[in-house]
Homo-oligomer: A and B are copies of this chain.
Amino acid sequence: MQIIDDIKQMQTLGLEARAAGQTLAFVPTMGYLHSGHLSLLEEGRRRGDRLALSIFVNPTQFGPHEDLDKYPRDFSRDEALARSAGVDWLFYPRADDIYPPDYATYVNVTGGLSEVLEGACRPGHFQGVATVVAKLFNIVQPHLALFGQKDFQQLAVIRRMTDDLNLPVRIVGMPIVREADGLAMSSRNVYLSTEHRRQSLAINQALRLATRKVAEGVTSASVVLDSARSRLQAEPDLMIDYLKVCNSTTLQDTAVIDDSALMLIAVKIGSTRLIDNHLLLQSWPGP
């Protein structure tokens, strides 16, 4: 495995791989790798002749009062995990190289897709995401890029951006990976105290409850939202940022449950913000 911090060197490797007819798979991350990331790397390894992983805690997708500074980092642990996952190129750029002093260009995905949910809670977040992903695609030059479905809206925004800008990259969305007790894997889980870790289970339990109601025949979004809300509100330190049932393509609110109905949850527990989601007509994975 090669560790690369130079943008030009990474781009040259990507372009050379393309020119040599190799398929290049790419997993962009902010590091502090967990089993969710490893599932992306595994699929990337399976699909690509070459596998690139980027680790870059992207400052432009954090708001001024968010957790950029305390975002968890452990490069040597990530490096070991990347090595055992069969990564060929670990791209680890410096923020000053990605955003030099005279940097001025931003990619904006406008419209409903990016304005709701995370877009409403975190102004500027998706501008930061779309911009850095466009840059990383141009630097790494992958044929396919893999993203987890926990950040469902991010995946939708990246698909839209990739299509709209005609980037020759296939976007692959991969299922959410969960802890044994159902909590969705997230680098931010490490922030949680034991008590908050316990309370955080309400998120996946609310999704499971909603999924069960729908399996029992409930078709009203407001009914499943009520039961999910009750479950979340049972936890004293859990504050709901949003709890929605949306069309999974448009991400606009939907009143009647159908195949595309997706429940999305964002909460704060103490100072930790967690998100999760589930397609309500899909059976719950695992126990």
Contacts and interface: CB of A to CB of B under 8 A. Distances in A.
B111 A139 contact: no
A105 B138 contact: no
A234 interface: no
Interface residues of A, number: 31
A107 interface: yes
A19 B168 CA distance: 14
A21 to B, nearest CB: 7
Contacts of A107: 105-108, 165
Contact of A113 (B21, B104, B160, B165): B104
Contacts of A138: 165-168
A130 B111 contact: no
Nearest to A15: B168
Among the interface residues A18, A104, A105, A109, which one has the most CB atoms of the partner chain B within 10 A? A105
A174 interface: no
Interface of A: 7, 11, 15, 18-19, 21, 102-111, 113-114, 130, 134-135, 138-139, 141, 160-161, 164-168
